[in-house]
Amino acid sequence: MKYFVEFVVSALVQRAGEVEVEMTERPDGIDCLVRLNSLDIGRVIGKKGRTIFAIRNLCNAVAAKGGKQVQIELVETN
């Protein structure tokens, strides 16, 4: 899952080298922390949040097999 999120976010942004993804497992789900440059955050969020919503839906579809839910949080660096 970590590599999927990193791959998708890196493909969207201009500063792909600055993308960092951390995954933490909880009993009922997975927390995903994505750090990226503040200039690229709009590209990941998309118009009206559609892009990040789609990424979250794909991650939740995969995690649902194990009965878990994914929380993705975007954090700006700089």
Element (H, E) at 68: none
How far, in Å, CA of 46 to CA of 58, rounded? 16
Query: What is the CATH number for 58?
Result: 3.30.300.20
How far, in Å, CA of 29 to CA of 31, rounded? 7
DSSP state of 73: E
In this prediction, residue 41 has a pLDDT band, given cuts at 50, 70 and 90, of very high
Q: pTM for the full model?
A: 0.89
> Over 90: is that where the pLDDT of 36 sits?
yes
How far, in Å, CA of 29 to CA of 9, rounded? 21
3-class DSSP state of 77: strand
Range of the domain at 40: 2-77
Domain total of the chain: 1
